[in-house]
Amino acid sequence: MSLHSTRFFSNTLELTTSVHVILPEQKYVDPSHPDSLADITYPTLWLLHGLSDDDSCWTRQTSIERYANERGVAVVMPQVGRSFYADMTYGNAYWTFLTKELPVKMRHFFPLSTDPRKNYVAGLSMGGYGAFKWAFNYPEQFAAAASFSGVMDLAGYQAQFGANMKDFDAIFAGQTIEGTPLDLFWLANEANRAKLSHLKLYQSCGTEDFLYEQNVKFRDYVAEQPDLPGYTYSEGPGGHEWSFWDKEIKRVIDWLPLP
C-alpha cells in the first residue's frame, strides 16, 4: 500500500488545500508481472473527518491503511475545516469543492474508479453528517454510505450548541435547517420517495456518546421509510472517541459491497 499527502490548488476554494490518499497493493500487484497495475482503477472510499480534525486524522488515529489494503480499496480523505460540509455564507464553498471539484481532481491524480458501484462515502461526527448528505443528494454516485457518531439531527445540534459556536453563524447565517436540503431527516424522506433501494446505509454510535440520542432518533425515523431497505444500524459501548471509530471503520470496510 502507499500513503500520499497531496497538496493542490482548489479553484473552488481559491486556495491550496491538502488531501490524504491511500492506495492498496495487496490484491492487485503480481510480483511476476511488474506491469500488472497498468490498467487498474481502484474502488474508492471517500472518508470524511469530524469538526476538530483534518485530512490526516484517520491515518494518525486508526489502522485505516491496513484495513483498506486488506480489502483492496483506495481511501480519499479531504479536509474542509469546520464547515459542516456546506457552502459557507461567510467562508469557503466546501460543499461544492467536495462534491464537484474533489472527485475530478483526485481521479486526475490517482487511478480511482468512476463506477458508482465501486464508490462509497463515510465519515465520523460532522463527517457522518457530510457522508449521508453527500449520498442522499447524489445517490447515483455511490453504492454505500456510512456514518459513525454522526451529527444526524443538525437542527437539534444547532439548537443545543449553536449559541456557543461561531461556526454556525459563518456557515448558515440564520438559515432554516429543519425541513430543508440541509436536514438529514428531510433528505432521508426524499431518498425514500425516490426508492433508493440500491444504496446501502450503515449508521453506528457509541451508547455513551453525547450524540447517541439523536442517532437513535434518526435510526427510528429511517425504520419508518419502507423504500430504504439497505439500512444497517449498530451500537455498542463507547463515547465520542477514536477507539470506537477504529473498530467501526474496520467493520464498515468489511461491510462495503466491493467487487
State the residue range of the domain holding 226: 2-255
Q: What is the mean pLDDT of residues 143-169?
A: 91
Looking from the CA of 173 toward its CB, the CA atoms found within 13 Å total 7
Give the span between the Cα atoms of 185 and 180, in whole angstroms.
Answer: 9
CATH number of residue 34's parent domain: 3.40.50.1820
Question: Considering only 123-132, 196-205, 233-242, which range has the smallest mean pLDDT?
Answer: 196-205
Q: Is the pLDDT of residue 226 over 60?
A: yes
Instruction: Assess whether pLDDT exceeds 80 at residue 166.
Output: yes
C-alpha–C-alpha distance, residues 168 and 231, integer Å: 30
Whether the pLDDT of residue 163 is over 80: the answer is: no
Count structural domains, the chain: 1
Q: Say what percent of the chain tops pLDDT 90.
A: 80
Coil vs helix vs strand at 17: strand
Which of 44, 114, 69 lies closest to 256, judged by CA?
A: 44
Q: Greater confidence, 201 or 228?
A: 201
Contacts of 194 (CB under 8 A, 6+ apart): 139, 227
pLDDT score, position 88: 96
| pLDDT (0 to 100) of residue 36 | 59
pLDDT at 34 > cutoff 60? no
**Which range, 33-37, 58-62, 197-201, is most confident?**
58-62
pLDDT at res. 58: 98
Least confident of 1-15, 85-99, 217-231: 217-231
* pTM as predicted: 0.95
| Measured distance CA(224)–CA(237) in Å, rounded | 26
Which of 3-7, 35-39, 164-168, 255-259 reaches the highest mean pLDDT?
Answer: 3-7
Does the structure show a pLDDT above 70 at 188?
Answer: yes
pLDDT of residue 21: 98
More confident residue, 254 or 29: 254
- Residue 162: pLDDT band (50, 70, 90) is confident
pLDDT value for 37:
59
Under 8 Å between Cβ of 201 and 230 = yes
* pLDDT band per the 50, 70, 90 thresholds, residue 225: confident
Average pLDDT value for residue range 100-114: 97
Mean pLDDT value across the chain: 93
Cell representation of residue 201: 446505509
At residue 30, the pLDDT reads 60
pLDDT at 259 over 90: no
Q: Which ranges of 72-119 does DSSP label H, i.e. alpha helix?
A: 94-96, 102-109
pLDDT of residue 26: 66
Average confidence (pLDDT) over 138-160: 95
